[in-house]
Structure 1
Amino acid sequence: MSSVTVRVPAKVNVQLSVGPLREDGYHDLVNVFHAVSIFDDVVARESDSITVAVTGDWADLVPVDDTNLAVQAARALAKHAGVCYGADLVIHKAIPVAGGMAGGSADAAAALVACNELWGLRLPAEDLMRLAADLGSDVPFSLMGGTALGTGRGELLTELPTTGTFHWTFAMADGGLSTPSVYAECDRLRATPSRGFWPEADAGLLAALRDGDPHALGRCLSNDLQPAALSLRPALAVTLEAGRRLGALGAIVSGSGPTCAFLVEDAAHAARLAQALPERAPIRATATAHGPTPGATIL
């Protein structure tokens, strides 16, 4: 096999509850992930070394050196399998970079799946999930897709039942936000250190997902990192309010931001919102999507 193409989705956090800071520097989380139909495609071609190139709207923001998470994923896989194979990786970007939608994590997950297939390793999903967890907290969910509850630092996943399809509009900001910076700002803004409690999944939110009720889900969206993202990027408040005024059922910063996510009635509502938002908010681009969608998938 000379090349493999893997498609991998973006995610939105419909609940992100941030608990105590752990001794390892991470926070305990309750993280309800939802995969949506904004995709990166990662192509892996036979090579003597591991390299990466990037195309697409966000290509200028993606590193093409050893700091690229897809490169790190391919090397981790080769080391785990005890092989010296190479791969030329080409990432076709549609997921925003540093936008709170797991773009880098998605590419790492895709690289694991693509190289596992390209090199004929046939490693089981359990092995790939363990490698994914070592690469980053969001990488396991990018492999899994669908809708899932993430605990620990987000890497311990339990699949959640959902009914039907949820429709979204996303507003992408100019520039990104550093995830560590947003967590640090979250800690700074909290009057009392977040020790001594354990966040829990919202029962109403889980029921809304299970019942396929977008109105109930819109009322339950929550993100403990949102105040920190707004503190670092005040213009996001304008974007969120514009979406609410345009009829969004729910409005939230996705993950550590700065992408804003709007839950809507249906695909037509998503399209109308995507068209209207740029006239009312300081954003770079909009996109419509639906979820849940599968995780990293070989095309």
Structure 2
Amino acid sequence: MAAETTPLREVVAVAPGKVNVTLAVGALADDGYHPLATTFMALDLYEHVRAVAADEISLQYASGSIPTDELSCGEDNLAIRAARALAEFTGTEQGVALTITKHVPIAGGMGGGSADAAATLIACDRLWGTNLTNEDLLALGATLGSDVPFAILGGVAIGTGRGDSLAPTMVSGTFEWVLRLSDEGMSTPATYRALDEHRARHRAHLSVAAEPEVAEDAVLALRGGDVHALAQALDNDLQAPALGLRPDLAEALEFGETQGALAGIVSGSGPTLAFLAENAAAADALATRFADAGHRVVRASGPVLGARVIEQR
């Protein structure tokens, strides 16, 4: 007779933030969403989620590199929603006390909240012994937000639809980034509205694809590990409207590109700026120049693995 497995009391999982190497935004659809074609790269900035067995589902934040004073711990929090979605999907009545340590900038276009949800799904699935397949976890993640499946998957992937239909992409080597952070977040809906308004004003001269595609030059650069080619391929349809809403970002973008970056780009809907450097030494030097000029910066490398358990007991 097989011995009974002792239930786990605690699981710690991590999930990465991301940068959108490319982001093509299609025309506004009837459902109010824009079809996307984007190239995600997971970066070595990890959200840590500690899940402890409990009677109820609850959340608190631990002190990390990112201030969390203004974040909600209530039912609107994506990690709470993830735990409840997993419990409902599997029928478990178990609870969990979640503690999140954040290292991905908040409201920075880098998917920090999505990484929290991804790590919560992975941690609770292990803690509760619900043993979902990866496909089920990805599908459940997609119900929570379009960036959640990629935080589970990690690496580099092409995202289409709302960004949650993923195709993993081959990549060679490691790419070095400097992320310039902003003290003020940006509203993703506001950035999309600005894009739509710009397109409406110039519709006579613009052709907007109903189903956008990722440019082949970005895919080839990633496969070949060619940092110079990737720098040329960086592209984001939301960059112009983001810079229109926040002219200060344009100044920071110019600063980085004149201080050693191969190229810079608004990450997602902003306001984080991602600068691609030739190598680690060049990235370190660029980060120092930014810091000396009074900017908040973070060094990051990618691609890295997606959400995974790192500790259990």
Once the two structures are superposed, the pairs formed by residues 195-274 of structure 1 within 5 Å of their partners are: 197-274=210-287
Q: Tell me the distance in 2 between the aligned counterparts of 1:61 and 1:11.
A: 22
Q: Tell me the distance in 1 between the aligned counterparts of 2:209 and 2:300.
A: 38
* Alignment-derived partner of residue 3 in structure 2: none
1:62 aligns with 2:71: yes
* Alignment-derived partner of residue 48 in structure 2: 41
Select the residue among 289, 299, 311 that pairs with 1:288.
Answer: 299
Q: Tell me the distance in 2 between the aligned counterparts of 1:84 and 1:241.
A: 53
Once the two structures are superposed, the pairs formed by residues 127-206 of structure 1 within 5 Å of their partners are: 127-190=136-199, 191-192=202-203, 197-206=210-219
1:18 aligns with 2:25: yes
Q: Tell me the distance in 2 between the aligned counterparts of 1:216 and 1:62.
A: 39
Between the two proteins, the alignment pairs up a number of residues equal to 297
Q: Tell me the distance in 1 between the aligned counterparts of 2:210 and 2:144.
A: 27
Q: Tell me the distance in 1 between the aligned counterparts of 2:91 and 2:180.
A: 43
Contact 1:28–1:153, Cα closer than 8 Å, also in 2: yes
| Cα displacement (A) at 1:194 | 6.9
**Alignment CA distance shift 1:194-1:70 (3 Å):** farther
Q: Tell me the distance in 2 between the aligned counterparts of 1:196 and 1:170.
A: 30
Residue ranges of structure 1 left out of the alignment (5+ in a row): none
Bigger Rg over Cα: 2
Contact 2:20–2:41, Cα closer than 8 Å, also in 1: yes
Deviation readout 1:63-112 (Å, 9 max, x if unpaired): 21111100000000000001111111111001000000000001000100
Select the residue among 58, 62, 77 that pairs with 1:51.
Answer: 58
| Cα displacement (A) at 1:196 | 5.3
Contact 1:41–1:93, Cα closer than 8 Å, also in 2: yes
- Cα RMSD, aligned residues only: 1.3
| Cα displacement (A) at 1:197 | 3.4
TM-score (norm 1): 0.96
Matched position secondary structure for 2:146: coil
Larger mean CA deviation between 26-35 and 226-235 belongs to: 226-235
1:87 aligns with 2:92: no
* Alignment-derived partner of residue 28 in structure 1: 35
**Alignment CA distance shift 1:121-1:94 (3 Å):** same
Q: Structure 1 vs Structure 2: percent identity of aligned residues?
A: 47
Amino acid at match of 1:211: G
